[in-house]
Structure 1
């Protein structure tokens, strides 16, 4: 005898007892009458006892059948209750969502949105992990992550939320001392501050509207694994940096930094929400994704 019970056969048996008919059971369960009959026969063979006395017009439980029927009915009821509770759990947004977000984007953009979300969904809690490193969603147990990049092909499901412009920036004082580059290749003669987690941190790639392309290997006195950490050195006039709008936007607006190479652009990047592949997502993850998609789309 196998260790695992034949729950399907027990459930079908309980339903036959309830409806007093193999044909009615087959109709309710969307099975063939033969499948229902085989399930009961499989259970009888396993138990070594006949469960029904059958004629062409009616069925009647045997003594063994009556004994088993009580427990099988309880098993079926418990299973139906467990399933309904699980469905209710998945349909009602509640529980923990583990979300990974780049450090500065998380503190400046995502975190300010969360009070509204948590007020709207009081049964959801969020574990917000802030790091510029690319996390392993599946291996580290995250439900979703926000990534700012030109995404490579992967098994993850990605949804683009908005664009994210990047700028080559420096302080006015830096450009007074060292001049303003007018072509990307001129960056080779400048102090370029680096960011570790660019898709190609050792090379900056550019293109213009005419289709011309250029690449340069930046070199300078500072390299960091969080883009915001470049701001003090850039504002102090000690180099040129490549930063996204959400990091350098305020410094550009107030004149602390200036953008150069306006006629050139780097490979288009965006803000993406990525999730592991698989079946339907829990309601708690789905509502957070829709909330973030709606709010962040306003940045486009």
Structure 2
């Protein structure tokens, strides 16, 4: 059992200040205490931990590997403590840090244009945005909200729907000039097609034959990528045709940068988007609930 008379958070805070200020004297000046008091505190901390945290010389201050590891953990713990105090003290006032995980496509075409409005509405909220198309574990990644595309699997996660969007096959005019415009499914099947570099719920490109039968064209090609926005950029560069969400390419089509392909064979399937989180929305911290409600109201895809 740790001694109850040891203020471990104060020790962590002072040790972090020593590291960030580059030495005992600078940390002492910042804390309005003597350098000897700071040195003794770090010495007591080392004695309690049973390891050396810093190498001391007259001219140099250097962390040991153990000191570096302790500093990194201490900073994380102090940040969590600060956020806990801000959340508790704020009550229902949205304040503090929200960690959001989202795809590059949603960030680029939906979230980014809305962020100035959200930040103006909630000046005490800070955002950590992690960009990836991969499905992450919200607990492991310490994520408050994740934006996910596709059908929602059965899980303990809760979700708010953010709309749905048509899927379309498109190619750049420069690619069409080199390969001609595919007019049948067979024409497209003979071409390299841009695809994702990870498994997706829909394995291939759903299409409808002239006889009205549904089929799936496998995604095969020499180039794959890990996110939809990256695939869009490859399509714009003429690397190959791609099947993309309509909300990400609507402007490209309107301005002639991309051309729809085989719209007669498009079955009209849509990809749904959800904001997912752990627990009931009513139990979310005010800061996370503010972002969730804002996205549900203004962050819809179509």
TM over 0.5: yes
- Please tell me whether the aligned partners of residues 100 and 128 of structure 1 are also in contact (alpha carbons under 8 angstroms): yes
Q: 1:89 Cα shift?
A: 3.7
Q: 1:165 Cα shift?
A: 2.1
RMSD: 2.8
Question: For residue 268 of structure 1, what is the aligned residue in structure 2?
Answer: 270
Question: For residue 290 of structure 1, what is the aligned residue in structure 2?
Answer: 293
Question: For residue 8 of structure 2, what is the aligned residue in structure 1?
Answer: none
Unaligned runs of 5+ in 2: 1-85
Q: 1:184 Cα shift?
A: 3.6
Q: C-alpha distance in 2, partners of 1:215/1:98?
A: 37
Q: C-alpha distance in 1, partners of 2:233/2:133?
A: 19
Q: 1:223 Cα shift?
A: 0.7
After superposition, give the CA deviation of every residue in 1:88-142 in whole Å (9 maximum; x if it has no partner).
Answer: 6442212211111112321332122122112211222111111122111122111
Q: C-alpha distance in 1, partners of 2:238/2:289?
A: 45
Q: Call closer, same or farther: CA 1:266–1:220 in 2, change over 3 Å.
A: farther
Question: For residue 110 of structure 1, what is the aligned residue in structure 2?
Answer: 111
- Please tell me whether the aligned partners of residues 184 and 214 of structure 1 are also in contact (alpha carbons under 8 angstroms): no
- Please tell me whether the aligned partners of residues 166 and 242 of structure 1 are also in contact (alpha carbons under 8 angstroms): yes
Q: C-alpha distance in 2, partners of 1:272/1:163?
A: 9
| TM norm structure 2 | 0.62
Q: C-alpha distance in 2, partners of 1:138/1:157?
A: 13
Question: For residue 144 of structure 1, what is the aligned residue in structure 2?
Answer: 145
| TM norm structure 1 | 0.63
What does 1:1-300 align with in structure 2 at a 5 Å threshold?
A: 89-197=90-198, 199-200=200-201, 203-207=204-208, 212-263=213-264, 264-265=266-267, 267-277=269-279, 280-297=283-300, 299-300=301-302
Q: Call closer, same or farther: CA 1:158–1:86 in 2, change over 3 Å.
A: closer
Q: C-alpha distance in 1, partners of 2:169/2:119?
A: 37
Q: C-alpha distance in 1, partners of 2:128/2:99?
A: 5
- Please tell me whether the aligned partners of residues 206 and 267 of structure 1 are also in contact (alpha carbons under 8 angstroms): no
Q: How many residues end up aligned between the 2 structures? A: 215
